[in-house]
């Protein structure tokens, strides 16, 4: 990527360079003109080529016919038709022969998916850095030919990786290429660095540029979102998630910093570095997913099979965060996270989560003798301003038992969104000063887990838990002990 910013207020030292650039641009223009002419020519050639191809096909057919089974009924032989010959006899007294030809439905692949090499990153000019994520760097850039502003994400490559290109990055590309939804960030193209042929050549994802991320808005806004705004944001989030789940995609890292919001109130789900397809046959899934604060209890307890419900838990956490303006469950490590969850949602019981005892890490939990007081959820009390319907939705999303959480589609139909105040239309959303436009985004939250990290609760730092034990006993009336 060319790192020199294209300055509009060039200094005198840069004049020479600017001149060179102008010259290059002029040449670029001239080249484009030539290209246009070339295209016309190509069109002509293609037509000729098609004719040649057709002729070739005819010869091939003739070739192929030699090897075919002999058919008694020559009139009805499909294996050696001349070019225009009908393959099956028309019914003799057919009236359909006079009818207009049937209009066939064609599903042309999107124009973007033709067999062509990736373009070079030189078609873009970097403007400024936005942030560094777990799986790559993001910068704001402009396409030289059109002036369009985009976000460019550079995939982190490990040059010596014995497994080649990182599978997470390839999955992100694979998934984003197939996704087309207004609430999912759009991948425009994938461009590469200039070391073509080298295995460690840089790979860049060109994404549509969205002004804000929800996390920095929440951090900076003086007043919390109105409940009509919260509803619209949640509806958009749920409809994006429903689209992903419909297409057998788990996002596995939903959090406010991965939700983008543009100045027209449109929310977009971004960062698919953790996402993957889950179809048939069900692949082996890693438990090392989702940023700690948004991670569901079944993942923390080490489940070997999970599904769309892990995303719905994260949606619940985001719901709470939109209201409270700070992350709902800020655990310092896995053990602390699960104790925070139980504090908020109550302890799991055989009724509320029948299978939880069988999860691998559940054995290391020591829960207090069943007292009815501690098993209830305190969500209602924690969000006194939420309506009954709102609290019931939040409660449902933060159900400990994954099977009890609503699907994204069910969430869209929830009573909460039909009650007053109605969801605010996107066009009436306030605008926010853009952070991404100028500065780096601030990050003060745990990162998404990195592959290969330890997963068991038993591997976390014990001292922290024992130090916090007294407090925990007071707060939630239970102890969490590793055995």
Partner 1 sequence: MYPASMYLYGLPLRSYNGVNGEKIATALAAMSHFANPLATPSQLYQRASASSLPQDLHEAIFVATQCLTQAAGRLLQLPQSVTAQANVLLARYWVVDSPMAHEFSDVSAATIYLVSKLGPIPRSPRDVSNVYAYLASSNSALFSTDEPPKNDPRAYYQSEADYYAFQQRMLSLEARILQSLSFDTHVALPHPLAITYLQTLDFLSQPRTTVSLRVIQYLNTSLLSPQMLYVTHQPHALATAAIYNAARDLGAKMPEHEWWEVFDVDREELGFLVVAMRSVEGWMQKLKDEIPTFGSEMLKRGMIEDELKKRGLPVDGGDKAAVDEEDEVMRMMDSR
Does position 52 bind partner 1 by CB under 8 A? yes
Over the Cα atoms of the chain, what is R_g?
A: 29
CA-nearest of 302, 294, 403 to 353 is 403
> Toward partner 1, which CB reaches closer, 175 or 230?
175
Question: Which of 68, 128, 330, 438 is in the footprint of partner 1 by CB under 8 A?
Answer: 68
Q: Mapping DSSP to helix (H, G, I), strand (E, B) and coil, where does residue 82 land?
A: coil
Question: Which of 20, 196, 428, 450 is in the footprint of partner 1 by CB under 8 A?
Answer: 196
CA distance 377 to 89: 73
In the bound complex, what is the minimum distance in angstroms from residue 243's beta carbon to partner 1? 9
Does position 281 bind partner 1 by CB under 8 A? yes
CA distance 227 to 233: 10
CA-nearest of 435, 432, 436, 443 to 221 is 432
Contacts (Cβ under 8 Å, ≥6 apart) of 429: 229, 232, 264, 265
Omega cis (within 30) before 281: yes
Asked whether the beta carbons of 143 and 244 are under 8 A apart, the reply is no
In the bound complex, what is the minimum distance in angstroms from residue 2's beta carbon to partner 1? 19
Question: Which of 2, 22, 283, 357 is in the footprint of partner 1 by CB under 8 A?
Answer: 283
Question: Which of 142, 201, 332, 375 is in the footprint of partner 1 by CB under 8 A?
Answer: 201
In the bound complex, what is the minimum distance in angstroms from residue 290's beta carbon to partner 1? 21
> Toward partner 1, which CB reaches closer, 322 or 408?
408
Asked whether the beta carbons of 312 and 412 are under 8 A apart, the reply is no
Does position 24 bind partner 1 by CB under 8 A? no
In the bound complex, what is the minimum distance in angstroms from residue 157's beta carbon to partner 1? 9
Tell me the per-residue interface mask from 156 to 185 with partner 1, x by CB under 8 A, - otherwise.
------xxxx-x--xx-xx--xx-x-----
β pairing state of 187-192 and 119-120:
parallel
CA distance 97 to 91: 9
In the bound complex, what is the minimum distance in angstroms from residue 297's beta carbon to partner 1? 26
Question: Which of 16, 23, 81, 415 is in the footprint of partner 1 by CB under 8 A?
Answer: 81
Question: Which of 14, 25, 42, 473 is in the footprint of partner 1 by CB under 8 A?
Answer: 42
Of 140-148, 212-220, 281-289, 328-336, the window that binds partner 1 (rule: CB under 8 A) is 281-289
Assess whether 77 carries a catalytic annotation. Answer: no
Question: Which of 199, 368, 430, 464 is in the footprint of partner 1 by CB under 8 A?
Answer: 199
Asked whether the beta carbons of 234 and 322 are under 8 A apart, the reply is yes
Does position 118 bind partner 1 by CB under 8 A? yes
Question: Which of 198, 264, 325, 358 is in the footprint of partner 1 by CB under 8 A?
Answer: 198
Among residues 213, 253, 271, 336, the one annotated as catalytic is: 253
CA distance 299 to 310: 8
The encoded tokens of residue 224 equal 């919390």
Length of the chain as a residue count: 483
Of 63-71, 131-139, 362-370, 374-382, the window that binds partner 1 (rule: CB under 8 A) is 63-71
The continuous run of DSSP H or E covering 70 comes out as none
Q: Mapping DSSP to helix (H, G, I), strand (E, B) and coil, where does residue 459 land?
A: helix
Q: Which residues form the catalytic set?
A: 253
């Amino acid at each position: 990527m060319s790192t020199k910013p294209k300055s509009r207020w060039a200094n005198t030292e840069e004049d020479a360079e600017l001149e060179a650039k102008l010259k290059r641009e002029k040449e670029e223009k001239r080249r484009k003109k030539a290209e246009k002419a070339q295209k016309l020519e190509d069109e002509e050639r293609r037509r000729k080529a098609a004719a040649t191809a057709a002729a070739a096909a005819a010869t091939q057919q003739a070739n192929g016919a030699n090897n075919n089974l002999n058919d008694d009924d020559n009139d009805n032989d499909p294996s050696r038709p001349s070019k225009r010959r009908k393959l099956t006899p028309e019914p003799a007294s057919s009236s359909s022969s006079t009818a207009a030809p049937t209009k066939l439905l064609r599903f042309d692949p999107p124009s973007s998916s033709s067999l062509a090499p990736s373009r070079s990153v030189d078609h873009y000019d970097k403007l400024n850095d936005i942030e560094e994520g777990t799986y790559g760097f993001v910068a704001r850039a402009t396409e030289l030919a059109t002036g369009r502003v985009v976000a460019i994400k550079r995939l982190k490559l490990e040059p010596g990786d014995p497994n080649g290109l990182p599978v997470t990055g390839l999955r992100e590309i694979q998934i984003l290429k197939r996704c087309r939804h207004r609430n999912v960030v759009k991948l425009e193209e994938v461009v590469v660095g200039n070391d073509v042929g080298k295995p460690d050549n840089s790979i860049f994802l060109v994404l549509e540029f969205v002004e804000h991320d929800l996390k920095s808005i929440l951090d900076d806004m003086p007043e919390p979102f109105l409940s009509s705004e919260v509803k619209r944001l949640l509806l958009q989030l749920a409809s994006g998630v429903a689209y992903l789940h419909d297409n057998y995609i788990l996002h596995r890292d939903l959090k406010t910093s991965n939700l983008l919001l543009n100045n027209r109130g449109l929310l977009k789900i971004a960062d698919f570095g953790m996402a993957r397809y889950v179809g048939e046959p069900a692949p082996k899934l890693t438990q090392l997913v989702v940023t700690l604060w948004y991670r569901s209890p079944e993942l923390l307890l080490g489940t070997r099979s999970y599904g769309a419900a892990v995303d719905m838990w994260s949606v619940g956490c985001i719901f709470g965060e939109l209201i409270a303006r700070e992350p709902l469950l800020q655990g310092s490590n896995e053990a602390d996270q699960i104790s925070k969850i139980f504090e908020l949602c109550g302890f799991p019981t055989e009724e509320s989560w029948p299978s939880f005892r069988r999860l691998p890490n559940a054995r290391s939990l020591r829960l207090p003798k069943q007292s009815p007081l501690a098993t209830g959820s305190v969500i209602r009390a924690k969000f006194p301003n939420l309506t009954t319907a709102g609290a019931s939705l939040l409660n449902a999303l933060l159900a400990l038992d994954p099977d009890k959480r609503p699907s994204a589609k069910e969430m869209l139909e929830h009573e909460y969104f039909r009650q007053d105040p109605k969801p605010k239309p996107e066009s009436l959303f306030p605008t926010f000063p853009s952070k991404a436009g100028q500065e780096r985004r601030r990050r003060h939250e745990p990162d998404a887990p990195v592959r290969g990290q330890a997963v068991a609760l038993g591997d976390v730092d014990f001292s922290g838990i024992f130090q916090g034990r007294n407090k925990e006993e007071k707060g939630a009336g239970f102890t969490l002990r590793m055995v």
